[in-house]
Amino acid sequence: MATDIKDIARSVDAATVRELLRTRPRLLALGEPTHGEDTLLDLRNELFRQLVEQHGYRTIALETDCVRGLLVDAYVTTGTRTLDEVMERGLSHGWGASAANRELVGWMREYNADRPSTDRVRFAGIDGPLEITGAESPRHSLTALHTYLAAHVDPHLLPCTMDTLDRLLGPDEPWTDPDVMRDPSRSAGRTPEARELRLLADDLTALLDTQEPHLVTATSPDARYTARLHARTATGLLRYHSWTADTSPSRMTRLLATRDAMMADNLLALTARGPALVYAHNSHLQRDKSSLRMWDHPLLEWWSAGALVSARLGEQYAFLATTLGTLRHHGVDTPPPDTVEGLLYDLPEDRCVLDAARLTAALGDKPSAARVSSYFGYAPFDPAQLPRTDGLVYARDVTRG
């Protein structure tokens, strides 16, 4: 069995990935099993550089706030602000402190420096302005959408004034109260004002849709893309806040599903810009349902962003899951030999990629055991997902940078 697996392990590079997939998908999703490890991020950076230089990819999308990501995109395309500023303000989840992320953004700016606008690489965030522990106020995206429409359409068509939005939004503190996640009664998501805001967000989005023929001639593609991003974000955040006020047993499942649905909408919007590499946690990009245990809840299950996008794009969506052998600085030692990670650990390569179908055949009829990790921040690969995974990227030892 080990010999068969050794025969199908290939180097991790763009040419091999293209050969493995036998096509150039519109969205190539590269998952990670844990966050914040520069060993994996360096692998991502090198693969993206090769995809750009050899295969015409022009966008990378990360699991970071889609609104804040606009600052990074402006920097890499036009040099707006400084690298220090965009690393501090343009990346959420603390990703701006990563040396590998800084290297990626710096390389993108350097690549774009002397290129025409039509040939520049772009950056995008796919996450909403939220985390499991809370969400932002919808103010920024709602007001940005209103401002865009007010500048380009008949003012009589606007469903409200900016003053009305400001009054209904009120102060930001109730929206961003971190205690809301454990106490639905503190949520501002189902107040009369919030319900009216959801209707207005829907009306503003409808106006954006119905004025598309005019907006195509009156504004740039980037301006329209940004307006639609704000429309998606405003409606998604208001929906998310509404579910924070829910008291039913399905509350957390709804919140997690809403987050991944927002990611999926952002991913689908990227397809208009050409082929993109998407990098996020395996659980967000897999075709299977995601699952999570948190606090005192039973197992939560919901459809991942990858599952939602794959249902829409079919073969134009490809998913490479990444797993690892050891993460010793977090107590993850040599994997058991009866797991997928354990079988791959004996390979001579430090990094490799394997075709999932061929790996399934090499494993034979005996199912591999699912690896169990004592470190909550690492999610081992579930071998039951192999039939719905295009390839498996393996890093033997992930070390602290």
User: 9-38 pLDDT, tens per residue?
Assistant: 999 999 999 999 998 999 999 999 999 999
CB 84 within 8 A of CB 71: no
Structure tokens at 397: 């030892």
Q: Of how many residues is the chain composed?
A: 401
Alpha-carbon distance 97 to 373, whole Å? 26
**In terms of DSSP H, where are the helices of 153-286?**
162-169, 173-176, 192-210, 212-218, 221-244, 251-270, 282-285
**CA atoms within 13 Å, Cβ hemisphere of 176:** 11
Cβ neighbours of residue 257 under 8 Å, at least 6 residues apart? 302, 303
Alpha-carbon distance 335 to 83, whole Å? 39
pLDDT at position 3 is 47
pLDDT at position 288 is 97
Specify the pTM: 0.96
Collect the ranges in the chain with pLDDT lower than 70: 1-3, 295, 366-367, 401
pLDDT at position 132 is 73
Map residue 250 onto helix, strand or coil.
Answer: coil
The position carrying tokens 């106020």 is: 137
Alpha-carbon distance 123 to 127, whole Å? 13
Q: Which of 242, 234, 240, 268 is nearest to 256 (CA)?
A: 240
| pLDDT above 90: percentage of residues in the chain | 93
Q: Which of 144, 173, 147, 169 is nearest to 158 (CA)?
A: 147
pLDDT at position 118 is 93
Alpha-carbon distance 204 to 143, whole Å? 10
Structure tokens at 173: 């503190």
pLDDT at position 274 is 93
